[in-house]
Amino acid sequence: MKASFLSFLSFILILFFLFALTGCNKKYEEQTVPQNVPDTTAVETTKHFLFVGKWYGKAGVYKYDLNTKKHETVWWHPRENVKLLISKTEVNPAFFFTLRKTGFQGGFPYFEKVKIYRISKDFSKTEFIYSIKDGMQITARWNNDENFEVVFTEIDKTDPIYINRHIKTFDGYGKLINDEIETFNLVADGFPELLPERNPTVSASGRYGISVVGDSVYLKTADGDSLKFIIDVNHYLKKIEWSIDEQFVFISTLDLENESLKTQKPETSELFVYSIVKDSVVASWSGAGIKNFFTLDSLLVFDNGFGRNSSIFIYNYLNEELFKKFNIKGECGLFYIPEL
């Protein structure tokens, strides 16, 4: 395979802004901060999930109900644009951030005016918790302690040869509990990586693992030395996820630099569902889009397509059938709006 690119979300999702995704693939209002008081309303996360949707040119946060098969607005503002949603299906509440502007200047990425928000467990309240004036790159994720972690870089104010990487950690109630700064010398250290690549190539029990040889992906078991062929892929490996019972593995790939981007039907991503029990790929999708995904019980949820052609698929991998495909009048994606 060209290279193994293990990224984001997962969800890690690294947001090098939507303008900077291509570069990543190469190697690949304001309110008082809420008090530390827990929400009292429990939400059954298997009944719904959050996603990002665009309406009247502005991206907001929406909820999809798996029972009614309908979606509704959770948060939308006429002067704000949601750029990244961090919502973990088994952990609530959710967080998202908006930003005023992003782009490139002098060959470097930049962003302006980031606002970070928290959505309560019952989705009834959205609270502003923090702002970041400006910087170069920004992303967010759940860390290993199940806290919300925002990571961003900025040029040092006193000496532009240095880059500062900030790591701000918030608990589930939106309270800032840790603030770290690391400084890198551009000449000696190079440009700092926002987040280390983190992908479970080995299943939780250690019984299975994924191995990549060239363009081919193989399954290996702990009790043997042989490799079992799964698939040949056309793009960079992006994300691997295992089902809880370790009977399925989900594999996505991504390449935002191939020649197909110049055509009406770009081929930028792939998503595969491999059954370990059946020793076969039981479902696959390829074509345009990022194909960010997560699993909910027996459902695989992923986005597909770019811009106004974007949609969200819900696939039951146990029954091997499509549960639902939907879109909204604007655009939609699981963690951000997929755009070129």
Each domain of the chain, given as residue ranges in start order, spans 21-333
Q: Tell me, what's the pLDDT at 13?
A: 36
Q: Tell me, what's the pLDDT at 90?
A: 57
pLDDT, tens digit, 9 for 90 and up, residues 125-138 = 999 999 999 999 99
- Confidence band of 225 (pLDDT split at 50, 70, 90): confident
- Confidence band of 9 (pLDDT split at 50, 70, 90): very low
- Confidence band of 106 (pLDDT split at 50, 70, 90): confident
Task: Select from 312, 306, 272, 300 the least CA-distant residue to 89.
Answer: 300
Q: Tell me, what's the pLDDT at 224?
A: 79
**Torsion angle of C-alpha atoms 58, 63, 66, 68, degrees rounded to 10:** -80
The arithmetic mean of pLDDT across residues 333-337, rounded, is: 96
Task: Please check the confidence at residue 25 and state whether its pLDDT lies above 70.
Answer: no
β-strands 108-119, 91-105 pairing: antiparallel
pLDDT, tens digit, 9 for 90 and up, residues 176-217 = 999 999 999 999 998 888 887 777 899 999 999 999 999 999
Task: Please check the confidence at residue 49 and state whether its pLDDT lies above 70.
Answer: yes
**pLDDT top residue among 149 and 223:** 149
Q: Reduced to 3 states, what is the DSSP secondary structure of residue 8?
A: coil
Please report, rounded to a whole number, the percentage of residues in the chain having pLDDT higher than 70.
Answer: 85
Phi/psi of residue 24, nearest 5 degrees: -70, -35
**Mean of all residue pLDDT scores within the chain:** 85
CATH of the domain spanning 21-333: 2.120.10
- Confidence band of 89 (pLDDT split at 50, 70, 90): low
